[in-house]
Structure 1
């Protein structure tokens, strides 16, 4: 991850790292999922976005962590024409 960070800064490019989530059967409140990569991926990322499927073909992107943007959600669809909001 440090090498990816270095390359992103050197070449001024965006790097996307994906992570899986798993269910937390002991979670009675809040989000019942947790990232498989744990705190290592969470702390090495500048921005964190949680993607999930919604109803009727919609997708939901939730901004979880950003140094300059507030948390929030946006819905979108993936169609034959690309990404539509």
Structure 2
């Protein structure tokens, strides 16, 4: 029984000392899904107006046309928020 407890203690001790590998988003060259056709379009914005995400790096999942320009967004929610008051977001641009 003592040997079992000693073995479990040793396993726990060494497993807690493992250094976790951390992966940084910054090291990746591109996170854009090349199969998504929306990522191949040219947009009049590089940053999502609502959440401030860089769509040139992370890609686009929704779009809208406003006053003859095409804008890309990371999510439908961001597009919907933009459309509630687009002039406010464009003024901050």
TM-score interval, smaller chain: under 0.3
The structure where strand makes up a greater share of residues is 1
The structure where helix makes up a greater share of residues is 2
TM-score, reference length from structure 2: 0.23
Larger radius of gyration: 2
Higher relative CO (Cα under 8 Å, sequence separation at least 6) belongs to 2
